[in-house]
Structure 1
Amino acid sequence: MNNDPNHRLLFVPPSTQDHHHGMLRAAVILVMYGDYQCQQSADVYRLLKVIGQQLSIAFGEDYLCFIFRHFPQIQIHSQALRAAEAAEAAAVQGLFWQIHDILFIHQQQLANGYLVEYANDVGLDISKFLQDMFNHIHLERINQDIESGIHSGITAPPALFINGIRYSDRWNFAPLITAITTANN
């Protein structure tokens, strides 16, 4: 992790342009930069989902907002960028989170044929999806996420910011839930 104090803060604040679960005015806002082909990104996402469910029960639906931003490591994950494009193509059809979960579940199967199958499974307009994918319509959006991550000091996913401050402890349940629950104090 980058321990430079200048790179501990989230460079681009959360906004309505982000893919988010929960309200942007929640007590705690988590921003995760991830790569669909990265096993640790998938593990952290699953852990955050469990934590989110527990915190929602304990503190209410408005306590936590989860934001996902793309940070594909294209130099080592050959299909991560295409998976991010598929997620963005689903987003314009209102189904980002549905395909997002599928991409993490099936991260070893992200070739183009699988992406079309996943798009069909969630009910996307396949013609529109294929046009978006073929024309790389969403690369600019993905590159904006990558740039914002780089400006925030990220060199590899996963990276997590809790209320704008980089989380740098272990990716385990106890330290993570403690960091989240103490973030709004």
Structure 2
Amino acid sequence: MSDDRSQSSLLVPPSTQDWIQGVLSAKVVLVMYGDYQDPRSADVYKLIKAIKQELSAAFGEDYVCFILRHFPQTKIYPHAQRAAQVAEAAAAQGEFWLMTDTLFDHQQRLENGYLVEYANDLGLDIPQFLKELSKQVHIDRINEDIEGGIQSGVTTAPALFINGRRYIGHWNTTELMTAMTAASH
């Protein structure tokens, strides 16, 4: 496959400003651009979580670093932008990854009432959470992720970069793990 996507690189390097699982100095750094309402994004997120767990068990916790960046596709998914804001509002209270898991697990139920319920289930400060959502406090961060994705050639979610190179293989355990292992050398 030799379209121009195969040559695309991540133009916004991973940093401590990102939502990170692992360490930036890991042998394999994955950056995923995802959409909380997109079924493929949920599938890839879950696939990466499973692979990360397997590789961390085999090679140590510092082998894989996983970064999730927002890429809501608002023309396709009406709740994607709001869900990204919810993840950021949860992040402000230290619960980005738990909220991310919840949003991907319940992507058929992303209307406002459910979002507040998820925040409540995570023990978030609801008045603070609602205030941040109503004032769209986190919209700039989401837009920065989208802009960085576009600069790196992302046009749709999910999109994945392994050590700064766009992954264009199939979304399955074998191919993704092979690509990650190859990138680590």
| 1:99-144 Cα deviation digits (max 9, x unpaired) | 0000000001000111100001111100100000001100000000
- After superposing on structure 2, the runs of 4+ consecutive aligned residues of structure 1 that deviate more than 6 Å are none
Change (3 A) 1:2 1:114: farther
Matched, 1:74 2:74: yes
Partner of 1:170: 170
Letter in 1 for 2:35: D
Partner of 2:158: 158
Question: 3-state DSSP class of the match of 2:124?
Answer: coil
Alignment RMSD (CA, Å): 1.4
Letter in 2 for 1:20: I
Q: CA deviation at 1:184?
A: 1.6
Letter in 2 for 1:170: H
Partner of 2:90: 90
| 1:150-169 Cα deviation digits (max 9, x unpaired) | 00001100000000000001
Change (3 A) 1:7 1:79: farther
Q: CA deviation at 1:46?
A: 0.5
Measure the CA separation in 2 of the matches of 1:3 and 1:109: 36
Unaligned 5+ segments in structure 2 are none
Measure the CA separation in 2 of the matches of 1:134 and 1:105: 24
Partner of 2:62: 62
Letter in 1 for 2:146: I
Partner of 1:134: 134
Letter in 2 for 1:65: C
Q: CA deviation at 1:4?
A: 1.8
Partner of 2:51: 51
Partner of 2:125: 125
Question: 3-state DSSP class of the match of 2:50?
Answer: helix
Question: 3-state DSSP class of the match of 1:168?
Answer: coil
Question: 3-state DSSP class of the match of 2:33?
Answer: strand
Q: CA deviation at 1:3?
A: 2.9
Do the aligned partners of 2:33 and 2:71 also contact (CA within 8 Å) in 1? yes
Partner of 1:143: 143
Unaligned 5+ segments in structure 1 are none
| TM-score of the superposed pair, with normalisation by structure 1 | 0.97
Aligned residue pairs total: 185
